[in-house]
Amino acid sequence: FLSTSLLVVILASLATTAVGLSPIVGALLAGLLIAETPYHTEVEGMTAPFRGLALGVFLITVGMSLDLKVIVANWAALITAVAGIVLVKSIVTAGLLRLSGAASGVAAETGLLMASPSETTLIVLATAAQAGLILPSTASFWQIVTALGLTITPLLARIGTDAAKRVAPRQEQAHTPLPEAAQRTVVIGGGRVGRLVAQMLGAHQLAYVLIDADIDTVTHARERGYAAEFGDAARPGMIARLDLDRASALVLTMDDPVQVERLTRQVRAAYPNLTIVSRARDPAHAAALYRAGATDAVPETLESSLQLSEAVLVDLGLAMGPVIASIHEKRAELRAKIMEMAALDREPPLHGRRLRDAE
């Protein structure tokens, strides 16, 4: 994926150069194109180590291109231009957010955070000057304005946070619902188990995202209406790209017991308060997952036995209500035993035993 992504960027840069535009424009278009594909999560994780270096080179290049004589000669106009851009962008952004129903505190904070000029402005100015659409002096002036605006972004973020606390009433902040993205459940594994979990989440109007390392599985899931994305959770750094600090829960449905246990331990270490529900192969695996930090571990063997028991009891003429109640009691009993055994340093005694032997 890394090689293919770089190839796409290079080809796009060559294409824009061939038509007389800056190669930076081609790289920008390639990035926008890749961001709209199902591979964007995987590509983002693979290119993360290079992002800091590339950003540093970009900012150094911008800094070296600034004309200090222009700054000294036009410092008053530059400050006025920066202040004007920040003021106009913050008012427009905050106003649009308020019109769309956002809270006043959120609108104020977002307006100030988005008030600084964008890095894309530098690309547009350079391309316009190269094409002769604007004078080089005009491009140089606004490039300096953009660079100065970028340097005050952290300050604007701090001011925006303080403004949000003062503008929004405490009651509004306490009762403002979280955005949908912050409430989503991350389901890793797009097989039959993962798809069924996604179906149940969707049936209850709960947002989710389905992650799988097989592109065919992701494509098939997206065609059937699932919110699926491509990503290999086993790849280093991929877990950090899933925004689990804002997720409501993580569900691990892979059929690889070793990978499920490893991811459970890794995620629990990074996110101590996150709800983690893991698919277990058997009671022994479930006990290991509890030790690794799973909130709930669901062993397939016990669940299939409970489902079979329920079907037999109903077919024998027992009422559905008492049958379901007894199944829930047995499930809770077995879960308590597994959790108790997970606290021991030895292998759980349930390993290799059948359901009726665990009673």
For residue 270, give the CATH number of its domain: 3.40.50.720
pLDDT computed for residue 1 by the predictor: 66
Q: Please check whether residue 288 lies inside any domain of the structure.
A: no
| Same domain flag for 184 and 143 | no
pLDDT computed for residue 70 by the predictor: 77
Tokens representing residue 194 in the block: 């993962």
Burial class (CB in 10 A: 0-12, 13-18, 19+), 257: middle
pLDDT computed for residue 168 by the predictor: 57
| Same domain flag for 258 and 339 | no
Q: Please check whether residue 144 lies inside any domain of the structure.
A: yes
| Same domain flag for 168 and 259 | no
Total domains present in the chain = 3
| Same domain flag for 343 and 208 | no
Cα dihedral sign, 252-253-254-260: positive
Angle, to 10 degrees, between the axis of helix 136-151 and the axis of helix 153-167? 50
* pLDDT < 50 positions in the chain: 170-182, 344-359
* Domain hosting residue 234, numbered range: 180-280
Q: Please check whether residue 285 lies inside any domain of the structure.
A: no
Burial class (CB in 10 A: 0-12, 13-18, 19+), 221: buried
- Side-chain half-sphere of 298: how many Cα atoms within 13 Å? 15
Last residue of a domain, one of 280, 306, 325: 280
pLDDT computed for residue 3 by the predictor: 80
pLDDT computed for residue 188 by the predictor: 92
| Same domain flag for 218 and 146 | no
End-to-end alpha carbon distance in the chain: 50
| Same domain flag for 192 and 131 | no
pLDDT computed for residue 187 by the predictor: 92
| Same domain flag for 96 and 144 | yes
Q: Please check whether residue 293 lies inside any domain of the structure.
A: no
Q: Please check whether residue 160 lies inside any domain of the structure.
A: yes
| Same domain flag for 52 and 165 | yes
pLDDT computed for residue 176 by the predictor: 39
Q: How far apart are CA 9 and CA 3, in angstroms?
A: 10
| Same domain flag for 39 and 122 | yes
| Same domain flag for 212 and 355 | no
| Same domain flag for 167 and 44 | yes
pLDDT computed for residue 127 by the predictor: 74
Q: Please check whether residue 14 lies inside any domain of the structure.
A: yes
Q: Please check whether residue 346 lies inside any domain of the structure.
A: yes
Q: Hey, how many other C-beta atoms are within 10 angstroms of the C-beta on 287?
A: 27
Q: How far apart are CA 231 and CA 239, in angstroms?
A: 9
| Same domain flag for 28 and 85 | yes
